[in-house]
Structure 1
Amino acid sequence: MQISRPHTLLGGLSPETFMRRHWHKRPLLVRQALRHLPELPTRDQLFALAAREDVESRLIRRTERGWQLRHGALPRRALPPLSRPGWTLLVQGVDLHHEGAHRLLQAFRFVPDARLDDLMISYASDGGGVGPHFDSYDVFLLQVHGRRRWRIGRLDDGRLLDGVPLKILAHFRAEEEHVLEPGDMLYLPPRWAHDGVAEGECMTASIGFRAPRREELLREVLVRELEAREADEDSPLYRDPRQAATATPARMPQALQDFALQAVQSLLQDRRALQCALGEYLSEPKRGVWFEPCEAGDLSHGLRLDRRTRMLYDTHHVFINGEAFRAAGPDARLMRRLADRRELDAAAWRLASDAARELLLQWAEDGWLHPLAPAPA
């Protein structure tokens, strides 16, 4: 993607300009962001996804008795009649299961992959919605079918309704109102309150982003680093040959406290190991994703990553589906190209070393990538 060129998706802004002016700062409404929508799941296909055990889905209904929430799997008989107003079906991670949704998600890769989360599609009957709420992450709301009326505003009061299975704002004040038609898109920064209501039957795609809490990253990174160190049989044991007899046996020995503090400091000082653990965590596949081992096939015509594969890199490593590999020299450049473009052509395959080819073949056998078809003669 040319990040300095104007982009219809962003209302004529370049990705560079959008990130500078709007990302994490202020909303953006784009009329006809996509004049030609990619092929996305139909209503029936979306319902079929919601019925699967390996797909995260939710059914939200607003009735005279209040808000109701049910988590999937949701077979068709669990969904209300299409003619009944006021209900919404949310299906997460549609990009993992549908090629058109996956291609649509790629249009937003001007944001780092480590932040890009998934593409959710919501189906709503007339009047359907999830109530006024806010997200802790950035979101693009792309209208796919029908019309949806959005009311948005700054979050002045974050208090929620009591006794409701959803996080619905108790005091929502709208500053703007927009009706989105197919192809229109609304970007909202984190903590912007919004309420979307379907006007007739409608479908909306939501492109969401990962916003891990500091404590989450700390836990995941340190646990991985500790697990790696537990395998070190040469790790020093605590010793206290000069420990004197004590009349206060319950008192913690200062030397033992210092030993523990040195262990923590040693862990935190190994910056490269921490970066490696972070890359492993951020490249882990989405929950519920699994790959079917298969024959590697012929990769000499090129290869592409499976749409469920997560691949990242840093200065010293390549990360794929939760695993880290050291990378340097021409092979490192090749692997970074694969991560950025999500495919390699035949010319790139020919440039790969024997070790790189062996690794790529192993990933193909694991189902993490697939051969490209030969170019037509």
Structure 2
Amino acid sequence: MTPLNFCLPDTVTPEQFLTEYWQKKPLLIKQGLPQLKDMFEPQDILGLSLDEAATSRLITQNKTETGEQWQLQQSPLTEEMFADLPEQWTVLVQNLEQWSPELGQLWNAFNFIPQWQRDDIMVSYAPKGGSVGKHYDEYDVFLAQGFGYRRWQLGKYCNERTEFIENQPIRIFDDMGEIIFDEVLEPGDVLYVPPKLSHYGVAQDDCLTFSFGFRRPNLMQVLDSLVDAATSEPSLFTPLLLDQPLQAPGKLNQHSISQIKQQLLELLQSHQGEELVAEAVSEVVSKRQYELLVPEDSLDAEELQQALSEGAIIRTDYSSRLIYTELDDQLMVYANGQPLADISDCEAELLKRLADADSLTYEDFLAAKLSTETVMSWLENSWVWLDF
């Protein structure tokens, strides 16, 4: 596979994008992902949306005497649901990288953003006039056109006070404020939309739009994971020592609460706290959002070794989450929400290279003296895929 250029205009460096645009303002990237052109056709996505293992949605828009009424049907979708559709409708399929490792490799065009922030690749199919309404997202998204044409409008920034249309199954609104962007994207074009910026896309013909989403964990996820990580620390189960002023017997006073808070803060700011928070965050951001597909067929160890010896390459499978941390010069690798504590140093180094978007050859495994059985376990866990 030819190394990918960054999905940025020639006039914008990664440093400029992160400083001037990231989570601040939109950016049109003409021909940012030309590899998407005709990679899929509408029938591919419509067929996939009917697969029982797919996470898909069918959104329809009906005109009534009182306005528009939207309907939402979620997977599993059936052929009957596509009978007698209104003129305007859309099909969405999530986590497309689990169905196409080749598509997943396009994540590498966004390697100027840490890969632990990646959410998934969603595809939207719509015939002419199809849309999912005026809305905003809580996360960053690169809207990449793969087939056909879609008109995009961008408006105001929204917040928790933004009013949505009542009695609709999806979060949409009427007022986008002043339109700051209004263009039609062609195959290969990409539009970056920061969080909370209102946007509205309408298919100009049969079209496929691929959404590369980036999301950070929320504090509740981190706190929940932190509690799980802390349960393995016996010292944290020791009752606290507190100063005790004279007071009414039924009162929990602010002094005691402040002492407990201070000891909690001291723990978080200690080296032990650094390790616990690193473990908690690593487990959260490396968790998969969707169930992992079980490969229908796989190579045996002998076939794998032959394929590698004949030039096949091991690449990261972006349907999984592979990340690493380096705390006190200690390398820790995480895969799909779990720390890989029992792997060898040489295995950890190779997985680190994969997490950094490198690929591995037969010579790499020979140099590291890593067995074919170990590589087989990577494939079986869907951490990697074999690129012939």
Aligned equivalents of 1:255, 1:184: Cα separation in 2: 59
Q: Residue 45 of structure 1: SS of its match in structure 2?
A: helix
Aligned equivalents of 2:381, 2:33: Cα separation in 1: 35
Structure 1 residue 121 displacement after superposition: 0.7
Q: Which amino acid aligns with 1:147?
A: Y
Question: How far does the alpha carbon of each residue in 1:12-43 deviate from its partner, in whole angstroms, 9 at most, with x for none?
Answer: 13333322332112111123333443553332
The reply to whether residue 369 of structure 1 matches residue 363 of structure 2 is no
Name which of 276, 280, 292 aligns with 1:277.
280
Q: How does 1:1-377 map to 2 (within 5 A)?
A: 9-12=7-10, 13-37=12-36, 40-65=39-64, 66-80=69-83, 84-155=86-157, 158-173=162-177, 174-220=179-225, 222-229=226-233, 232=234, 238=239, 264=264, 268=268, 269=270, 270-291=273-294, 297=301, 301=308, 303-315=314-326, 316=330, 317-325=332-340, 332-341=348-357, 343-352=359-368, 360=375, 362-370=377-385
Structure 1 residue 264 displacement after superposition: 4.2
Structure 1 residue 308 displacement after superposition: 2.1
Aligned equivalents of 2:255, 2:48: Cα separation in 1: 58
Q: Which amino acid aligns with 2:32?
A: A
Aligned equivalents of 1:225, 1:334: Cα separation in 2: 26
Structure 1 residue 172 displacement after superposition: 1.6
Structure 1 residue 91 displacement after superposition: 0.8
Q: Residue 288 of structure 1: SS of its match in structure 2?
A: coil
Structure 1 residue 328 displacement after superposition: 9.3
Change beyond 3 A, Cα 1:209–1:50? same
Q: Residue 106 of structure 1: SS of its match in structure 2?
A: helix
Structure 1 runs not aligned, ≥5 long: none
Overall identity of the aligned pairs, in %: 31
Question: How far does the alpha carbon of each residue in 1:219-245 deviate from its partner, in whole angstroms, 9 at most, with x for none?
Answer: 23x23213434xx4x7655499xx9xx
Change beyond 3 A, Cα 1:36–1:170? closer
Q: Which amino acid aligns with 1:323?
A: Q
Aligned equivalents of 2:40, 2:231: Cα separation in 1: 42
Q: Which amino acid aligns with 1:346?
A: Y
Aligned equivalents of 2:62, 2:98: Cα separation in 1: 32
Q: Which amino acid aligns with 2:364?
A: A
Structure 1 residue 275 displacement after superposition: 0.3
Aligned equivalents of 2:6, 2:229: Cα separation in 1: 44
More divergent stretch after superposition (170-179 vs 186-195): 170-179
Q: Residue 130 of structure 1: SS of its match in structure 2?
A: coil
Whether the 8 Å CA contact 1:295–1:364 is kept in 2: the answer is: no
How many residues align structurally? 362
Question: How far does the alpha carbon of each residue in 1:100-127 deviate from its partner, in whole angstroms, 9 at most, with x for none?
Answer: 3213233222211111111111011221
More divergent stretch after superposition (260-269 vs 154-163): 260-269
Q: Which amino acid aligns with 1:112?
A: P
Q: Which amino acid aligns with 1:320?
A: A
Aligned equivalents of 2:293, 2:259: Cα separation in 1: 42
Whether the 8 Å CA contact 2:152–2:183 is kept in 1: the answer is: yes
Whether the 8 Å CA contact 1:38–1:100 is kept in 2: the answer is: no
CA RMSD of aligned residues (A): 3.7
Q: Residue 200 of structure 1: SS of its match in structure 2?
A: coil
Aligned equivalents of 2:255, 2:91: Cα separation in 1: 59
Aligned equivalents of 1:228, 1:239: Cα separation in 2: 18
Change beyond 3 A, Cα 1:79–1:342? farther
Change beyond 3 A, Cα 1:228–1:50? farther
| Superposition TM-score, scaled by structure 2 size | 0.79
Change beyond 3 A, Cα 1:42–1:76? farther
Q: Residue 230 of structure 2: SS of its match in structure 1?
A: helix
Whether the 8 Å CA contact 2:134–2:198 is kept in 1: the answer is: yes
Q: Which amino acid aligns with 2:214?
A: F
Structure 1 residue 195 displacement after superposition: 0.7
Q: Which amino acid aligns with 2:185?
A: L
Whether the 8 Å CA contact 2:148–2:208 is kept in 1: the answer is: yes
Q: Residue 7 of structure 2: SS of its match in structure 1?
A: helix
Aligned equivalents of 1:253, 1:152: Cα separation in 2: 51
Change beyond 3 A, Cα 1:219–1:188? same
Aligned equivalents of 2:38, 2:104: Cα separation in 1: 10
| Superposition TM-score, scaled by structure 1 size | 0.81
